[in-house]
Amino acid sequence: MTMWLIILAAVLAAFAAGTAYLTVAVGRFGLIKKLSGGRKWLKGLISFGIIAIVFAALVFLTSVTNAIIILLSTLMFFLIYGLIFRIIRAVRKKDFTCNWAGWLSLITSAVYLGVGYYLCFHIWQTDYTISTDKNIPHMRIALIADSHLGTTFDGEGFAKQLDRIMEQKPDMLLIAGDFVDDSTNREDMITACKALSGLKLDRGAFYCYGNHDKSYYGSEHRGFSAEDLAAELEKSGVRVLEDSVFSADNITIIGRRDSGEKERAEISDLIKNIPTENYTIVLDHQPNDYDNEAAANADLVVSGHTHGGQLFPVTYVGEWFKINDATYGHERRKNTDFIVTSGISDWEILFKTGTKSEYVIINIV
């Protein structure tokens, strides 16, 4: 949590510095120069006013978080093109009559954010094939995480995505946390849980809690508690696992308590009484216990939480600061396969420029 507070402080500092830089950059457009009549103070005031009005409109249309993301993304391209054209001017020893750096920054920002919006709201299927020497039948597993109901789709939207997933005829469904969000309403939660009832899954559906599922703001904020969520999932036939184990037909599923909570059991304690011939699948929302899970000889560990890195160029910041062991994709350590999904939806931010939204199909052979 301390590291994320530091990152938040850095983002706010960048936002403040970026606003100052953008004020100067916007003042280079010809129209602003004409309106200011060459007076620097008026040019700065007009530029800042335009930025403030645009930012307020973005807050109204999206949210404060997304407005900051849009401004910082635009700033990134103003800095890049500003540097490029500064070098070009130094080489040609002549200024441009048009503010090419400014116009290219605006156009590139619009394309970048437009693609990011599409990558966030459009959902792909990602396939992995994993082999094992253990004596188990071929399994086809569907994995989802980070649906954060109410962000990119509501309860009915989730039901439509679930229909797509079931067309792949999985034997098992794994839900690796953050099924709901702090802002999810009770109606969407119940609708999504009902969509999970009656699924034709030979090996069932399993769920572990994510960091948002129990809500940071209490049950009053969204109208239901973590216990209500668990009850609705269980009613729909989904087995809720929190530092608990389920075994059937030499397949064992372990659902771990979220790593952000106290009194989380060690993976070695959860796995120690499981027969070694069983194929062991671990649901662990946050991918940050790889060494211990590999040492415990888990066969497969599935996670979400990272949203695949979310935004370029800060995609791997979680790994840089040792918050997560991985950001996205498949990795094998010792005898353990690890898979991190970028999530089927998103949290507050409406853009994914470092990844895409997905559900995962895992074939175990």
The 10s digit of each residue's pLDDT in 226-277 is 999 999 999 999 999 999 999 999 999 999 999 989 899 999 999 999 999 9
| pLDDT surpasses 70 at 165 | yes
Q: What is the pTM of this model?
A: 0.92
Q: Of 351, 364, 339, 363, which is closest to residue 144 (Cα–Cα)?
A: 339
Task: Output the pLDDT for position 6.
Answer: 75
List, edge to edge, every strand of the sheet that includes 205-207: 123-130, 357-364, 139-144, 172-175, 205-207, 238-240
| pLDDT surpasses 90 at 13 | no
Encode pLDDT of 55-76 as tens digits. 999 999 999 999 989 999 999 9
Task: Output the pLDDT for position 3.
Answer: 60
Q: Looking at the DSSP assignment, which residues form a beta bridge with residue 362?
A: 128, 141
Report residue 159: phi and psi, to 5°.
Answer: -60, -40
| pLDDT surpasses 90 at 317 | no
Encode pLDDT of 124-147 as tens digits. 999 999 999 999 999 999 999 999
264-287: string of b/e by CB count within 10 Å (b at 16+)?
beebeebbeebeeebbbbbbbbbb
Q: In the chain, pLDDT over 90 holds for what percent of residues?
A: 83
| pLDDT surpasses 60 at 1 | no
| pLDDT surpasses 70 at 4 | no
Domain architecture of the chain: domains with CATH: 2-119 (no CATH), 123-364 (3.60.21.10)
Encode pLDDT of 181-198 as tens digits. 999 999 999 999 999 999
- Contacts (Cβ under 8 Å, ≥6 apart) of 69: 311, 349, 351
Encode pLDDT of 147-160 as tens digits. 999 999 999 999 99
Q: How far apart are CA 293 and CA 291, in angstroms?
A: 6
| pLDDT surpasses 80 at 8 | no
Q: How confident is the model at residue 11 (pLDDT cuts 50, 70, 90)?
A: confident
H/E stretch holding 48 reads: helix 40-61
Encode pLDDT of 279-312 as tens digits. 999 999 999 999 999 999 999 999 999 999 999 8
Given a contact cutoff of 8 angstroms between Cβ atoms, the answer to whether 348 and 151 are in contact is yes
Q: In the chain, pLDDT over 70 holds for what percent of residues?
A: 99
Summary mean pLDDT of the chain? 94
Q: Which two tokens stand for residue 160?
A: 């439509």
Q: How far apart are CA 249 and CA 164, in angstroms?
A: 28
User: What DSSP string runs through 152-210?
Assistant: S--HHHHHHHHHHHHTT--SEEEE-S-SS-TT--HHHHHHHHHHTTT---TT-EEE---
Task: Output the pLDDT for position 262.
Answer: 87
| pLDDT surpasses 80 at 169 | yes
| pLDDT surpasses 70 at 2 | no
Q: How far apart are CA 145 and CA 117, in angstroms?
A: 19
Given a contact cutoff of 8 angstroms between Cβ atoms, the answer to whether 177 and 209 are in contact is yes
Given a contact cutoff of 8 angstroms between Cβ atoms, the answer to whether 11 and 68 are in contact is yes
